[in-house]
Structure 1
Amino acid sequence: MTSTSDLPSHAAAWSAHDGLPLLRTLATALIGLDAITGLDGFSLPYPDEAQRALNRTVLTCVLQGAEPPASLPELLQWCRYRPVSDWPLDLPSDAIGDTDHLLDPDSGRPTELCHEWAERAADSAVHQRDREIIRTALRLCRECGEEDAYTEFRRLLVNRPVLTSVEFFEVSNDHVLDPVRELIRRIYLPVPASHLRAGAYTTCERCLTLLIPVQDGSWWCERDQCRRQGPAPVGNLWPADEVGELFQLERPLRQFVTGPGRSEVALEQALTELGLRVRMWPGFDAYDLHVTFPNGRVWAVDVKDWAHPAFLGRAARPLAPEPPYDEAFWVVPQYRVDDRPGYQDVYRRHRPASALGLPLFTDTELISHAATRLRNAPDGGSRA
């Protein structure tokens, strides 16, 4: 765990702001409400976490001399339509962007940033569901000496976040995945009826997750990257009376494994097309991509598809030394930097001293860097 003394002074100062714990409380409450009620079916008495979030928001407003929300429905309206930057909160400058919302204005669902506030914002060690699952899968596959099983498990989470009942049965009985069979059965959950429109489920063609029907007849995709590219393209259409029960990965895994995984696979393809040899999740997921140039020079790459650059900076750690490499990079999808000006600067300000040598490139920059290296030295450059 990173100690406060290991953090840059800019990052360590976060703990001095009273608004940060409230944002974490709000984010946790919103995700809990969404899972239980869909954010539109709650009634008195409110769930404990939601009531706690409302009470703390009211108190904060009173202390700031601002008009507080009068009820939980009004608080939800704040979360959906009022940028967090407009709330009467004591927050550090890097904590939020001008247009950040906790709930998506169009769908009313928790934003990716909301999920990051709930999962990533704590200053001390917290329960992070996605890391718990990945660590468990690693342990199970290592105990069996099956690195291929772990690689296939990761590809499953990246490429198949939604399974029909027939596919779920087939995956659960795939012998390659034997070490993680029970784990798979725990992390793929039945899809709620709120995803149905006209008796059918629909996936996003771009990111492969399930689309959520919106009242105006459109679709909402939970991935920021898809929404910024325009209306969600319809992928698979599964009538409920034909496919029976449908299963999807639990949200933390869709958010922090499937999402970045799509970027990892796209980067793998781009680098392979340049003529480089790419190995995915080597050494039981020591890092994401092991990239070998024609002369044998190796890059180690970890892809991080995070909305909040300060959270990413605070999480920065040197890459594992094995399998060995010559250079190491963290990579973020280009759209994250386009969406939040100064993303890489914020990352650098919050990066701990132990990771000062870990650069953050966009995927576009890394591909260009690799192409330049190949163009300037066809053999991949010297090891000097």
Structure 2
Amino acid sequence: MTFDGHDAVPAANWAAHDGVPLLRTLATALLALEAQTGLDSFTLPYPAEAQRALDRTVLACLLRGARPPAGLTELVDRCRTVPLEDWPLSLPADLVEPGDRLLDEMSGRPTELCHEWAGRSSDSAAVFRDREVVLAALRLCREYGEEEAYTAFRGLLVHRPVLTVAELYEVTGDMVLEPVYELVRRVYKPVPESYLRDGAYTACGRCLTLLTPVGADEWWCERDRCRRQGPPPPGRRIACDGPFTVSQLERPLRQFVTGPGRAEADLEHELLALGLQVRMWPGYDAYDLQVVFPDGWRWAVDVKDWAHPTFLGRSARPVPQDPPYDEAFWAVPVHRAAARPHYVAAFERARPASAGDLPLLTDAELVTRAKRRLRTCKGDRRA
């Protein structure tokens, strides 16, 4: 997932649909509540976003003859238990699939979809926080003339979303990362006690983010992809030695950098296994992967790990021409397309004309296409 400073198509394009602004307001409010009080208890005064979400939801229900929530607690409970398709909202096509919720039914935590609604809408105070941080890293590394520093920074966010105190100290002493020392300190935050079980924090063995204890002995992982693979496997266990034992990346960065970055790394691994040359984040992150075939043909690939194809389509734009390439693609993890029927078609309907015919493939389709092209390079007529 590259960062070049361009915003998505303005959300005002959807202003005619009364359900869209309300869903954005709800998602933003849920994230504000989680950050301020936690979603299992509320303290006065409520964040302004939460009160605004409650007021607007009550009005929407009354206008449509539905029973409004009696208060904030009931509103939050509805966000967890009632699928969005059952809310009294007027929504355009492609926005809601059966089972979509703003809060996870099991853990009560904001879903990835909730973060996309809040983080990709223009009226959110936290809009594009991930883009703000990564663009800051780009600026700092360019000022130092250190592309290697930027690559190391992106790799850090992808492969090490959780750091102990000792590890954070080690990272901020790494000379390669010198241009972004202060940025690293700002984006890794102390972990709240809600992640603790039996005096320790536990990372997911698959996606490396911290697991949330649920019930007596279960775990919940914040990544959709991980949950679809089955119960998350507990990985590294870190004993709690005090309030600042462990730090983790801010959620917008885990959502929009670490998540796609894991998909980028998986794709890199598969393409390297085919014998192709792969360069990550070339040209200060002009795009995610530069793939070079034996005959010199070059692909530019941007990986987009988004739950919602319409949001992704609205953000579509041509892949930058430098470093040069012969073909360009956007790729989405296959599990995203499997989770939403007609994912690619919804992307294409939402894609603006300015993006041209930018193709979207699943990562599996991209690897298959690479294999086919390799056979062509080798003169295999079966290609």
- Unpaired stretches in structure 1, ≥5 consecutive residues: none
Aligned pairs (5 A) from 1:26-105 = 26-105=26-105
Deviation at 1:2, TM superposition (A): 7.2
Q: CA distance change for structure 1 residues 44 and 144 in 2, over 3 Å: closer, same or farther?
A: closer
Does residue 1:217 correspond to 2:223, yes or no?
no
Partner of 2:377: 377
Q: Distance in 2 between matches of 1:274 and 1:380?
A: 15
1:29 partner amino acid: A
Aligned partners of 1:3, 1:189: CA distance in 2, in Å? 28
Residue in 2 aligned with 1:268?
Answer: 268
**Is residue 173 of structure 1 aligned with residue 173 of structure 2?**
yes
Pair 42,228 (structure 1): closer, same or farther in 2 beyond 3 Å: same
Q: Tell me by how many angstroms 1:53 deviates.
A: 0.5
Say which SS state the counterpart of residue 16 (structure 1) adopts: coil
Mapped to 1, the partners of 2:380 and 2:129 lie a distance apart of 40
SS of aligned partner of 1:241: coil
Question: Could you say if the C-alpha distance between residues 238 and 59 of structure 1 is closer, same or farther in structure 2, counting changes exceeding 3 Å?
Answer: same
Give the aligned residue type for 2:148.
Answer: D
Corresponding letter in the other structure for 1:317: R
Contact persistence 2:303–2:332 (CA under 8 A):
yes
SS in 2 for 1:101: coil
Corresponding residue for residue 292 of structure 2: 292
Secondary structure in structure 2 of the residue aligned to 1:278: strand
Which residue in 2 is equivalent to 1:143?
A: 143
Cα separation, 1, equivalents of 2:173 and 2:198 = 32
Deviations 1:286-321 (A, max 9, x none): 000000000000000000000000000000010110
**1:248–1:122 distance in 2 versus 1, CA, 3 Å:** same
In the alignment, the residues of structure 1 paired with residue 332 and residue 31 of structure 2 have an alpha-carbon distance, to the nearest angstrom, of 25
Deviation of the 1:15 alpha carbon: 2.6
Match of 1:258 in 2: 258
C-alpha separation between the residues in 1 aligned to 2:26 and 2:147? 40
The question of whether the paired residues in 1 share the 8 Å contact of 2:121 and 2:127 is answered with no
The Cα of 1:244 is off from its aligned counterpart by 6.0
How far, CA to CA, are the matches of 1:51 and 1:124 in structure 2? 15
Cα pair distance change 1:371/1:30, threshold 3 Å? same
For 1:34 and 1:236, the matched residues in 2 are separated by 25
Q: 2:127, 2:7 → 1: CA distance?
A: 16
Task: For residue 125 of structure 1, report the CA deviation from its aligned partner.
Answer: 11
Q: 1:123 to 1:26 in 2, by over 3 A?
A: closer
Corresponding position of 2:197 = 197
Aligned to 2:208: 208
SS in 2 for 1:34: helix
Contact kept in structure 2, 1:373 and 1:380, CA below 8 Å = no
Task: Say if 1:126 and 1:106 are closer, same or farther in 2 by CA, change over 3 A.
Answer: closer
Which residue of structure 1 lines up, in the alignment, with residue 3 of structure 2?
none
Match of 1:113 in 2: 113
The C-alpha deviation readout for 1:317-372, integer Å capped at 9, x for no partner, is: 10110000000000000000000001100000000101122100000000000001
What amino acid is aligned across from residue 16 of structure 1 in structure 2? A
Note closer, same or farther for the CA distance 1:324–1:16 as it changes in structure 2 (3 Å cut). Answer: same
What do residues 40-93 of structure 1 show as CA deviations (whole Å, max 9, x unaligned)? Answer: 120344332111111100001111111111111111111001000100001101
- The one-letter code matched in structure 2 to 1:173 is G
Q: 1:202 to 1:243 in 2, by over 3 A?
A: farther
TM-score using structure 1 length: 0.94
Other structure's SS at 1:90 match: coil
Q: Go from structure 1 to structure 2 and tell me whether the alpha carbon gap of 1:124 and 1:169 turns closer, same or farther (over 3 Å shift).
A: closer
Rounded to whole Å, the distance in 2 between the matches of 1:138 and 1:43 is 39
